Chain A
């Protein structure tokens, strides 16, 4: 069997760190080849090498048996390699058609000739049942549609080798199954697909073969049909993993956090990102806010925590109105916030770990006297947390946070927030970008909070996380709460319909 693409013994180093260490990937014609690995396993690096963004220190790339040199993305395009990036690279105020032909415009003496392009795009769209409106603006269409634009872009350039980088992360279940159909149709027509993911279900569903990376090393390639999900995850993580979260039955108590008629303005003028939202989080429960990215979840949390001004509404914590209080006072009242973006909001990356661990408490009498910091006390405190929460880092409490791994950065935030013994923990995508081990750990911590009778408000985009962790789910769509359901009484598909706005349950929660 000949391979369309062979990447043999690729080694890519950044300084002394080997992002890819002797990795081999062989793609057969007409197959869907999954590339599986945790975050930081080197999947993106390997694809960047294939796409000409990085030059490997060792190894060679062969195409149809002949060695090729890919110096930049243009070379890759000429060889027929196309990629749908995880974060779409589209121009927001362009139309669909303009976005697709961008960079490949057909012109006549310098003047755009869009008719031919339009014909070709419409043909493609029809062939794959994309139902795309070529004149719609990118900013107006859904994320699922944007992804189709990206796919059309690859097809428009007649690419034969298609790379999908975590394509399902932003989609709802219905869209995912449609994407899978399209992928199958594409390989049936003779194209070859590299499918990057860490979701085992999807690999099981569409992929023919699967190559596994772990910490930059090549672990092996397997036939998907011959291997179980458990075995695959073991290959990926290097040990046995518990794929199911174990938790006790919830014991719902009194209300802790009440949000009443909250409205928050969005970034674009005139639009409210959060519209008249009300819900209550009780003691001993994990309430999950589900929804597709960008439906107002971030603004909701920013509004509750005070990072963004609110238009109207009330936030009540344990019976006390904290709407107008300063962020510091909210923190003292027992509100803990694990922010969505740990680099932007959660940490001062250039501070040492110990400074970050006292970021909200440095002014307390424990850590200062007459305005002077007690460095010994801070050090002792940090050492304690590092041990208790198993934060791993090179120089202990003196490590600069920027140099720590994502998982350990997140652990540091969680240590800081949970150690304050809060009444409610607001966690926004707390496991984004983390490896399986860290995910397990963080989920356990959140469940421990719940079991200790505290309230947890979890915002998540991952359906698995929503279904596994939550005791109650509210779904947000376009700034409103469209459903308030029990995870045991709802299927993933039904949840998907709510998330897509195709179905509406309760408008406001009944108290």
Chain B
């Protein structure tokens, strides 16, 4: 047991080290672009969501919700040995399905309507995931290639469908969804003092717990992880590895799709834009999954952290920094996160040295 705890400790401290290195890099960046305001700007980032009291914290939770979902999507697939770079397309598909149902199916009673929207998003995301899944399982097509393709198909198709069905020509975006399709605030906006927070974060946390239980406690998770760690041995043991590949990426797609719904049904004044941009939340999900070492609980905290410094980034604009600066800093942190293996080895080495020293002391 001790060894397992040590592994967790090393994993956690590697993530913390990655974050510190990324922040340091960010500070240097701020120093270079605007030396006089660098310290103030940096303090804003570090203060992050705490700057505005409860409202700030509420906003952190709001920003974190969709990227926790895409992070879960990427992390879940990763446990099965798949790199779900298609989370963006699944996210967009889910977002569109939710908004479409939210606008068009007003015949549904309140309470049911929003749930149908969420289910539509889950199905759309899953559908977007099943294509790379089937290609991977039965034709050994890399899920990275087909995932990227599905991202572009998703982006263009969503743009097309918005224009033909739910288009607000004046604003070049989707129409607002019906009141009955908006996620309940559940009084959270009162607790958090007018922030955009809503039931989405609760759904995200429930998903985190569900994914954790699936992966750690069930036979299904046992199979998925076995396939991810060693496909050959799984096949040898009689596990249907093809079925697991498809299921894994379908579930990942459903998670990302649900994430899309949670963002666009938040009632925060966010609309589907007709832009030729692949949904950035999907890529943010990759960062979150990396930073959280694909562990559901880790992903929860990584998502919260990224939400936290994103809010800090907005506040930083007060000091004349462009909001892209915060994107670069997040990228730097993720970059360092990707190097976490290096940090892990460093920490192991450090521990080893310490142990050797202790041993020598004991000998002497």
Shortest Cβ gap from A210 to chain B (Å): 35
- Against A, the Cβ 8 Å flags (1 = close, 0 = not) of B217-240 are 111101001100110111111111
Residue B236 contacts which of A346, A350, A362 (CB distance < 8 angstroms)?
A: A346
Structural contact, B238 and A327, CB atoms closer than 8 A: yes
- State whether A373 and B237 are in contact (beta carbons under 8 Å apart), knowing that A348-B226, A348-B230, A349-B229 are contacts in the complex: no
* CB neighbors of B among A240-296 (8 A): none
CA distance A269 to B229 in the complex (A): 29
Contact B236 A345 (CB under 8 A): yes
Taking CB atoms, residues of chain A closer than 8 Å to B226 are 348, 351, 355, 359
Chain A, interface size category, equals: 20 to 34
Q: Is the CB of B218 within 8 A of A372?
A: yes
Q: Which B residues form the contact surface with A (CB < 8 A)? A: 1, 3-4, 217-220, 222, 225-226, 229-230, 232-240, 352, 356
Q: Tell me the bound Cα distance from A359 to B238 in angstroms.
A: 9
B17 to chain A, nearest CB (A): 22
> Which residue of chain B is the closest to A332 with respect to CB atoms?
B238
Interface string of A356-384 (1 = CB under 8 A from B): 00011011000010011100000000000
Residue in contact with A15 in the complex, picked from B218, B234, B240, B352, CB distance below 8 Å: B352
Q: Which residues of B contact A326 (CB under 8 A)?
A: 238, 240
Residue of B nearest to A344 (CB): B232
> A358 — nearest CB in chain B belongs to which residue?
B222
6 closest Cβ pairs, A-B complex: A328-B238, A359-B237, A327-B238, A345-B236, A348-B230, A360-B237
A345 touching B232, Cβ below 8 Å: yes
Q: Known contacts A327-B238, A395-B3, A398-B4: does B219 contact A350 (CB below 8 Å)?
A: no
CB of A141 closer than 8 Å to a CB of B: no
Contact B219 A327 (CB under 8 A): no
- Is A337 an interface residue when CB atoms closer than 8 A count as contact? yes
Q: Tell yes or no: A339 within 8 A of B by CB.
A: yes
Jot down 12 A-B pairs with beta carbons below 8 A, ordered by A: A16-B352, A326-B238, A328-B238, A329-B238, A346-B233, A347-B233, A349-B230, A359-B226, A359-B233, A360-B237, A362-B219, A398-B3
User: A329–B239 Cα gap in the complex (Å)?
Assistant: 11
CB-CB under 8 A from A307, the residues of chain B are 235-236
With known contacts A15-B352, A326-B238, A395-B3, A355–B232 Cβ distance under 8 A = no
With A328-B240, A344-B232, A346-B233 given, can you name 5 additional A-B contacts, CB distance below 8 Å?
A307-B235, A327-B237, A347-B230, A348-B233, A371-B219
Flag whether A331 is at the interface (Cβ < 8 A). yes
With contacts A351-B226, A359-B233 known, is A331 near B238, CB below 8 A?
Answer: yes
> In the complex, which of the residues B219, B225, B237, B240 contacts A368, with contact meaning CB atoms closer than 8 Å?
B219
- A327's contact among B1, B218, B222, B235, by CB below 8 Å, is which? B235
User: How far, in whole Å, are A42 and B230 apart by their CA atoms in the complex?
Assistant: 29
Docked Cα-Cα span, A360 to B223, in Å, equals 10
CA distance A372 to B147 in the complex (A): 31
Cα distance A351–B237 in the bound complex, in angstroms: 14
- Are A373 and B218 in touch, CB under 8 angstroms? yes
Residue ID in chain B nearest A369 by CB atoms: B219
Residue of B nearest to A352 (CB): B4
Shortest CB-to-CB span from A268 to chain B, Å, is 18
A347: chain B residues within 8 A (beta carbon) = 230, 233
Residues of B within 8 A of A350 (CB): 229-230
Give the CA-CA distance A262 to B223 in the complex, in Å: 31
Which residue numbers of A lie inside 8 Å of B, CB to CB? 15-16, 305, 307, 326-331, 337, 339, 344-351, 355, 359-360, 362-363, 368, 371-373, 395, 398
Return the contact of B233 from the options A328, A345, A395 (Cβ within 8 A). Answer: A345
Given A373-B217, A398-B4: A360 touches B230 (CB 8 Å cut-off): no
Q: How far is the CA of A104 from the CA of B353 in the complex (A)?
A: 43
Q: In the complex, A331 Cα to B219 Cα: how many Å?
A: 18
- Separation of A329 and B237 alpha carbons in the complex (Å): 11
Complex Cα distance, B336 from A42, in Å, reads: 38
Set of chain B residues within 8 Å of A349, measured between Cβ atoms: 229-230
Residues of A within 8 A of B4 (CB): 398
Report Cα–Cα, A305/B232, bound state, in Å: 13
Q: Which residues of A contact B237 (CB under 8 A)?
A: 327, 331, 359-360
Contact, CB under 8 Å: A348 / B234:
yes
The answer for the CA separation of A241 and B1 in the assembled complex, in Å, is 37
Give A303 to B46 CA distance when docked, in angstroms.
60
**Smallest CB-CB separation from B238: which chain A residue?**
A328
Complex: chain B residue closest to A356, CB-CB: B233
**Nearest-neighbor residue (CB-CB) of A337 within chain B:** B236
- Name the CB-closest residue of A to B348: A15
* CA distance in complex: A305, B237 (Å): 11
* A344: B residues at CB distance < 8 A: 230, 232-233
Indicate if the CB atoms of A372 and B236 lie closer than 8 Å: no
Q: Is the CB of A373 within 8 A of B238?
A: no
CB-defined contacts of B356 to chain A, threshold 8 Å? 16
Tell me which residues across on chain A come within 8 A of B232, comparing CB atoms: 344-345
Which of B220, B229, B238 is the most central at the interface, judged by chain A CB atoms within 10 Å of its CB?
Answer: B238
Q: Which residue of B lies closest to A355 (CB)?
A: B222
Residues of A near B238 (CB, < 8 A) are 326-331, 360
Chain B: minimal CB distance from A15 (Å): 7
Nearest-neighbour CB distance to chain B for A78, whole angstroms, equals: 33
CB contacts (< 8 Å) of A395 on chain B: these are 1, 3
The docked-state distance in angstroms from the alpha carbon of A344 to that of B233 is: 6
CB distance from A45 to the nearest CB of B (A): 20
**Shortest beta-carbon distance from A102 to chain B in Å:** 32
Roughly how many angstroms separate A371 CA and B233 CA in the complex, as a whole number? Answer: 21
With A327-B236, A331-B238, A359-B233 as known contacts, state yes or no: A398 contacts B1, CB within 8 Å. yes
